[in-house]
Chains A and B, each alone.
Chain A
Amino acid sequence: MAISMGKSTRRSLLAMSLPVYLLLYAPLLLIAIFSFAPPPLAKGQTFYWYADLLHSPEVIAAFRRSLTLAIGSSILGTALGTLMGFGLYRYRDRNATGIASALPSLIIYTPIIMPSLVFGISELIFFSFIHSATGFLAAGLLTMGIAHVTFEAPFVALVVFARLSGLDPNMFEASHDLYADARQSFLHLTVPVIRPAIIGGFLLAFTLSIDDFTISFFTAGPGSTTLPIYIYSAVARKGVSPDINALATLMIATVIGTGLLQYMFTRNRARKLVARPGD
């Protein structure tokens, strides 16, 4: 559909949009610039703070913890979420009314709509009660992992549900006609079909976990600092400093790099699919 628009409108849109783009990246750029500030000691060594990072055991430990937490919780979160999404799509009685049938959906949406702060504080007091009563579940990677799984699973469920919704419902009838039982149907029909959604859900869960701050902050223990918590503690206590800027720049660069890579891959694939016929 052709969009006819006056030149002046076009230009004013550009004029209004350009500052927004610039403003979005200005703070990130400033962080990067201030990460290169030469330290008082070694003059002229622009990458001093980056080298310092590699020698800091705390930073490396925080990075490892972020990764371990993300991978571990994503695996469990994806498993639970996939089952939930599938179960709700396939077995929910759409004709039933009343609270019992709406309950599963309500429960799944709770972690999504709950503010992170309330989420985090609820976990904090819950785990501290359990800990003082039983001695188990001291605040640490395990409690963080449990909290992460709790907020990841619904997102995975939504992704899987959305993918299933786009499928032909007669599929399941067909497999039933071919004498497949529920388990066989699931393993040999459903799983392969929703595999992109499962992988997408896993990546989403992973991203949510790596990026999370608020919930991790309230469920963390003494030895379980993750990267976002490390940055926050440094910044809240000491203010902005070049070594934190270096760490932040690395994180920003990773995000931008990953985003661009992903964009290029999807564009390439789309191009290949389109280019095929005429070759």
Chain B
Amino acid sequence: MKGLMGKIAGGALAALIAIGGGAPAAHAAGKTLYLFNWQDYIGKGLIKKFEAYCGCNVVQTYYDSNSELDAKLRAGGDSQYDVVVPSSYYIPQLVQQGLIRKLDKSKLPNFKNLLPRFQNVSYDPHDTHVVPYQWGTIVIGYNKDKIKNPPESWAALFDPKYNASYPFSMMKGSGRDLIGAACAYLGEGFACKTKAAWIKAAKLIEKQVKRPNFSGFVDGDPTMQQLKKGVVAIGMTWSGSVAQCYADKTCLNIGWILPKEGSEAWVDNMAIPTHAPNPELAYKFINFILGAKEGAELSNFNMYPSPNAASEPYLDKAIKQPLVTPTAAQMKRLSFLPALTPAQAKEFGAIWTAVRQH
């Protein structure tokens, strides 16, 4: 391998190393905040504002479900991420496993901006561990050209009568949302808590899996993408995902349903993992988001209602639409998922695993 070939190989290798190693590392200078978040949940503009404010760099990685967040935190993520965004019903589980730390409220002066009903919440008494981020609902998204006149009910998804041949998907992740939906359809209420109810729901889901047009278990955000691309015609997704694509006009043929049997209202919260590499930056970030204008900018981007009272005057009109901020009548149909005790979690896990093997 001497001679010309060797020289060229050596030169190419050297060039590659130069490109790879010598590129200006803007990230090396200053500190880095590792944010682990759901997709499309914070605008690039807001991130840049925070980077300017703290003189730091933000590296964002994404997950699609609470169980994915849990799995990553347990596999060592609790010492690699600075800020994570779990849903309310998962918080007690994370606290029990020692994955998120107690918050020092003195470092969060903007905490007082929150609406009263988002302070001292039931899933985190005295707000020891988390701070509310956004809240929203689960809706059924469907393609209006393919599924005509669906009922305002989970039957649109679960009853073959309304969709005999177009591909449909069901929600993946921790399973709480899908089992809840099945419970609601069966009349057990979305926030069903008993083993018997879960088993009934699981059997219904198993029947759905056997339908020929079942396209798979898909998380909320990817479902929206699949709806846009025509891979599925109907599925479960987040209210804000639908509102976002209405706002940027990329899915004018997608409709949404808030089923009358009941659906989920969830609250996502910011938390700091126990061994976060940069907790000071994390506190800065959380306090930043709690600011009046910043909270509004956050909501105006991701199209979810804000828990921040001080942000109210700065919210876009679009936030007031019923898809994003449910009306009082709709709120009656919505349930918050309860947290599970360890014993219940074990039972639920066994049922969900069984549902997923097919």
Contact = CB atoms under 8 A, between A and B. Distances in A.
Direct contact of A and B (CB under 8 A): yes
B74 A222 contact: no
B76 A128 contact: yes
Contact of B64 (A57, A195, A221, A237): A237
A259 interface: no
Contact of B76 (A138, A237, A269): A138
User: Looking at B1, B26, B34, B75, which has the most chain A CB atoms within 10 Å of its CB?
Assistant: B75
A135 B79 contact: yes
Interface in B13-41: 16-17, 19-21, 23, 26-27, 32, 34, 36, 39
A265 B77 CA distance: 47
Given A64-B21, A68-B20, A222-B81, A239 B229 contact: yes
A199 B6 CA distance: 10
Contacts of B5: 265, 269
A64 B23 contact: yes
B74 A239 contact: no
B20 A199 contact: no
Interface residues on B, range: 20 to 34
Contacts of B34: 222-223
A63 B1 CA distance: 28
A63 B20 contact: yes
B222 A238 contact: yes
Contacts, number: 73
A91 B196 CA distance: 66
A222 B81 CA distance: 7
B225 interface: yes
Given A128-B75, A237-B64, A195 B229 contact: no
Interface bin, chain A: 20 to 34
Contacts of A138: 76, 79-80
B79 A131 contact: yes
Contacts of A128: 74-76
A128 B80 CA distance: 12
A130 to B, nearest CB: 9
Contacts of B229: 239
B76 A139 contact: yes
Nearest to B22: A64
A71 interface: yes
B156 to A, nearest CB: 23
A206 B129 CA distance: 45
Contacts of A265: 5, 8
A140 B5 CA distance: 35
A140 B231 contact: no
A196 B76 CA distance: 41
A195 B1 contact: yes
Given A221-B80, A237-B222, A64 B20 contact: yes
Interface string A171-195: 0000000000000000000000001
12 contacts: A67-B16, A67-B17, A68-B21, A125-B75, A128-B76, A135-B79, A199-B1, A221-B76, A222-B77, A223-B34, A237-B62, A237-B64
Given A138-B79, A222-B77, 15 more contacts: A63-B20, A67-B16, A67-B17, A67-B20, A68-B20, A71-B17, A222-B34, A222-B61, A222-B81, A223-B80, A237-B221, A237-B225, A239-B222, A239-B229, A239-B231
Interface of B: 1, 5, 8, 16-17, 19-21, 23, 26-27, 32, 34, 36, 39, 59, 61-62, 64, 74-77, 79-81, 221-222, 225-226, 229, 231, 275
